[in-house]
Structure 1
């Protein structure tokens, strides 16, 4: 290092690493949630069809379920997660 360059801040580096790990974990968790919701959407669609619901209505039901679940997961602010 030169005389004019500041010393690296080990705390800042540690905080950056922790933040990156939490961000990666949050991304994985959100992806897993999306997969689970997609499976549930398929279940809603198949069950509706098997119950005799017309395909267009079953598709609408599944789409509404997807929208409702995804709006719940998107309301979580990553800055507020402890």
Structure 2
């Protein structure tokens, strides 16, 4: 049986259902808007992360995965580099 929320926002409903987001971030710019799409692969998870604003911004991202070493793939140049993580 499902649950219907008639009032409130999607974040409210997810919190009530105890569903954690697979991606979250903090930024040094208040107006930064970042979106992520997750794709499951046999070898791990792939996240396409996109800055939705027309300015660069520092972002600290968190992903709901463990047991993998993250890499940053540049979609324009094809360069792959390690990133810091904890």
From the two aligned structures, give the one with the greater strand fraction: 2
**Greater CA radius of gyration, 1 or 2?**
1
More RCO (CA 8 Å, sep 6+): 1
- Superposition TM-score tier, normalisation by shorter sequence: under 0.3
From the two aligned structures, give the one with the greater helix fraction: 1
The alignment's TM-score, normalised by the length of structure 1, stands at 0.17
